[in-house]
Structure 1
Amino acid sequence: MSKADMGRRYRLYPTPEQHDRMAGWGHTCRALWNLALEQRRYLYRQRGITLMGSAQCKQLAQARADLDWIADLPSECGQRVVANLDAAFLNFWNPDHPAGFPARKKRGRHMSIPFKGQTLVVRKLNRHWAKVKLPKLGWVRFRLSRALGGTIRNAVVSRDGSGWHISFGVHTGRKPDAPNGKLACGVDFGVAASAFVSTETEPRRMPQTLKPNERKRLGHLEQRKARQLTYAKKHAGGKYSNRLRHTIAQIAKLKTRQANRRQDFTHKLTTDLAKNHGIVGIEDLRVKNMTKAAKGTMDAPGKNVAQKAGLNRGILDNAPGERRRQLAYKCRMYGSLLVAVPAFHTSQTCAACGKVDPDSREGCGRLFLCVHCGHEDDADHNASIEIEARARRTGGSVTNSTRSTTVRVPAARRRRTREALPATHG
């Protein structure tokens, strides 16, 4: 059977009864994941046995006969949870995969219910609405924001701060396009400038994911949550009140809105880059290392801990890892080539003469002024040209993409004057 090659996500609108039952199923799936994970860890530590999903599915069938809260969950959903855990371990054992050891799922986060595609029935109601028949739940309406465009292979019902969604894994049969032969480009991802493309004269800046009033409200809600948590620990034995749950729901709604805006910008950026270029060069960034927190405690405070935390938020808000993931499959889809080049010294290399010198970018500002040849440019644009050159050297032989036209972008700051510039570093 052909596998899913495309995803479709829609907003789901369950009835109050369906909402309550799906919420219970979500907690059941989370509990099954944690129990299956703990069972595998225990058997390996105590007896050296590597337990796989086939054996756990047999035990799951017995548990359904003994426990009502497991029996209420459709059998296929429990089997999919175990199969997903198998896939998580296989990724962990694969040395070429970046996945780490499977982690436990916390309550209230990543609530999802997996389904098999063979048991689902989808009917279109009109131009904007459709409904899906879920096992033990019946028909549930969802907003048909785009056509399915293929055969459903699997589905996942999930909940975030804005409500319920259903994601279909669809087999469309779409083949990758032939090499498009368009211009090559290099892209420098940053914080001040979200993305600077070597073929453009202006950076692409991501709009604020939260408006000023929303950011202010988020801070107020975080303070309220901290007060309510403190009260719950002191006077209610840690039990959450309805007010605290309402505060958490409001925070989750704002966070989801922020994530949706970030994802919208990311999809538009990566689609445009993949469609309109033959080679897309990016830096091979190690985001996990870049966003390590500065060490500091109350007793021994570190240096620039708050500044590093702000920089980490800026890096993660621009989602360089997600951009690379999207470019990987979109470049294959649209006939372009993604090349990740070493990030070493891209910001200190002159795009005109190719010499590396940290003095060419004093203070890591927005101005790049080569101390050897006098070339002046915006620092991020200069880096993007260097990224493009490295990408062409690495992947240019496998595509017929033509070289982009080098453009000069005036730096935002006033040019600094240096006397006898070439003679100083000759």
Structure 2
Amino acid sequence: MKADAGRKYRAYPTEVQDQVLVRWGHTARALWNVALEQRVYLWEQRRYTLRSVEQCKFLTAARTDLDWMGDLPAQSGQQILRSLDRAYDNFWNPSHPAGFPARKKRGHRLSIPLPGQAVEVRKLNRKWAEVRLPKLGWLRFRLSRAIGGTVRNATVSRDGNGWHVSFGVHTGRMPDVPNGKPACGVDFGVAASAFVSTDTTPRLMPPSLKAKEKKRLKALEQRKARQITYAKKHNGGKYSRRLRTTIVQIARLTTRRANRRRDFTHKLTTDLAKSHGLIGIEDLRVKSMTASAKGTAAAPGRDVRAKAGLNRSVLDNTPGERRRQLEYKARMYGSVLVAVPPFHTSQTCAACGLVDPGSRKGCGRLFACTRCGHEDDADHNASMEIEARARRTGGSDINSTRSVPRMRVPATGRRRMREALQPAHAG
């Protein structure tokens, strides 16, 4: 019985619990790094693959010899080693995008994982509940939504806004049957966050930070740079209390920005999955799109700062996260997600299928076909083209979308095909 849904709540530990959780978070990070180093060393020196079953024996001995390691609950340490197993399995899986397991820095988010058997949840009233953690006691959290299933695992983490407790829950919900709703294509961009082919206006993401917040964030980052320089010159690199306060203030603003971005993404993907039976998106390679242009000392890049600004704008719209959410929400609400090759979607006429860069002069907002005279918003025209390619794919299973060959797609007869398919999908 595996977890098939997640629940996250804001936790409110006492002052003593806060100190304990901070200590545990750093211990969990150190355990991950030590376990990873041990596996890397054994593989490089002896070509021996170490797994969590054997490492748990070493963990038992370390908990006896090291007080700071013994302070961490044994269930949490075992869960960390099992998570390292999953990280290696994902790395070895050729169909998984994960890279080699990375070491966690001191500035990494504090996180303490626990199995479901080690925790107990009880409801206090309509708005509050408690979770019992080993060696810590009852931790209060805000019951913003019902748990709605069996708790299989729990994670206590901290970000810029404070502590949170997350539960992996088994709800037993099966994928919905096809909803039979109309198809659509979605063009994710920078000027227009998302343009849906069935809409007449783009869906714009509100600014993740207001003007005053951006100004304050810039001032705090400048202050942090000055304080770090002073610490290196006069304190041997040791962070002062004022520097740590500045870091906390920056973390609050960046967390607020991430939460606003995540809120828009969830609302957008949920609406798309509920309102459409077929969703076409571009199979973007975000990592290649946002590669740096700075070059090398011998061959420096061009327009480096402009490219860096474009990269920030692309990542601010989180195209990868939108695709990830659409993958599981499409199955949840009875729709199908199809990722199509992205080449020439902004230069192809959705009416006649002509591919001509001259139809979009200067990469502006207007698309004017040089052959048939079709005019439309450039992003809306691209979304119509994405929808046509998704229809041609036939709504294949989501797991097969990554294997779509990057080949030239014939652009003839699109309008006739769309007109022939429209009545069937409309019914």
**1:86-145, CA deviations, whole angstroms, 9 ceiling, x for partnerless residues?**
000000000000000000001121210000111211111111111111100001100000
Match of 1:13, SS state, is coil
- Between 1:121-130 and 1:375-384, the stretch displaced more is 121-130
Q: Which runs of 5+ in 2 are unaligned?
A: 399-420
**Match of 1:265?**
264
**Match of 1:344?**
343
**1:18-53, CA deviations, whole angstroms, 9 ceiling, x for partnerless residues?**
000000000000000000111111111111111111
Q: Distance in 2 between matches of 1:326 and 1:175?
A: 17
1:49 aligns with 2:48: yes
Equivalent pair of 1:281/1:340 in contact (CA under 8 Å)? yes
**Match of 1:334?**
333
Q: Distance in 1 between matches of 2:258 and 2:66?
A: 37
Q: Distance in 2 between matches of 1:300 and 1:343?
A: 30
Q: Distance in 1 between matches of 2:142 and 2:296?
A: 48
Instruction: Quote the sequence identity (%).
Output: 72
**Match of 2:173?**
174
1:281 aligns with 2:300: no
1:7-406 map, 5 Å: 7-296=6-295, 301-396=300-395, 403=422
**1:276-322, CA deviations, whole angstroms, 9 ceiling, x for partnerless residues?**
00000000000000000112568875311010000000000000000
Match of 1:265, SS state, is helix
Equivalent pair of 1:184/1:404 in contact (CA under 8 Å)? no
User: Post-superposition, which runs of at least 4 consecutive aligned residues in structure 1 deviate over 3 A?
Assistant: 296-301, 396-399, 402-406
Name the amino acid aligned to 1:263: R
RMSD: 1.6
**Match of 2:409?**
none
Equivalent pair of 1:183/1:404 in contact (CA under 8 Å)? no
Structure 1 pair 46/262, CA: closer, same or farther in 2 (3 Å)?
Answer: same
Name the amino acid aligned to 1:28: T
Q: Distance in 2 between matches of 1:93 and 1:66?
A: 34
**Match of 1:416?**
none
Q: Distance in 2 between matches of 1:108 and 1:397?
A: 42
Q: Distance in 2 between matches of 1:10 and 1:404?
A: 45
Structure 1 pair 43/378, CA: closer, same or farther in 2 (3 Å)?
Answer: same
**Match of 1:414?**
none
Compute the TM-score of the two structures, normalised by the length of structure 1.
Answer: 0.92
Compute the TM-score of the two structures, normalised by the length of structure 2.
Answer: 0.92
Equivalent pair of 2:124/2:130 in contact (CA under 8 Å)? yes
Q: Distance in 2 between matches of 1:357 and 1:101?
A: 41
- Between 1:263-272 and 1:387-396, the stretch displaced more is 387-396
**1:154-204, CA deviations, whole angstroms, 9 ceiling, x for partnerless residues?**
011000000000000000111111000000000000011000000000000
Report the count of equivalent residues: 403
Name the amino acid aligned to 1:113: I
Q: Distance in 1 between matches of 2:105 and 2:163?
A: 18
- Between 1:41-50 and 1:164-173, the stretch displaced more is 41-50
Match of 1:57, SS state, is helix
- How far has the Cα of 1:403 moved from its partner? 3.4
Q: Distance in 2 between matches of 1:46 and 1:295?
A: 37
Structure 1 pair 296/223, CA: closer, same or farther in 2 (3 Å)?
Answer: farther
**1:348-402, CA deviations, whole angstroms, 9 ceiling, x for partnerless residues?**
1000001101111111111111111111100000000000000011124889xx7
Q: Distance in 2 between matches of 1:175 and 1:391?
A: 25
Equivalent pair of 1:199/1:404 in contact (CA under 8 Å)? no
**1:247-279, CA deviations, whole angstroms, 9 ceiling, x for partnerless residues?**
000000000000000000000000000000000
Q: Distance in 2 between matches of 1:112 and 1:357?
A: 51
Equivalent pair of 2:231/2:237 in contact (CA under 8 Å)? yes
- Between 1:284-293 and 1:118-127, the stretch displaced more is 118-127
Q: Distance in 1 between matches of 2:298 and 2:275?
A: 54
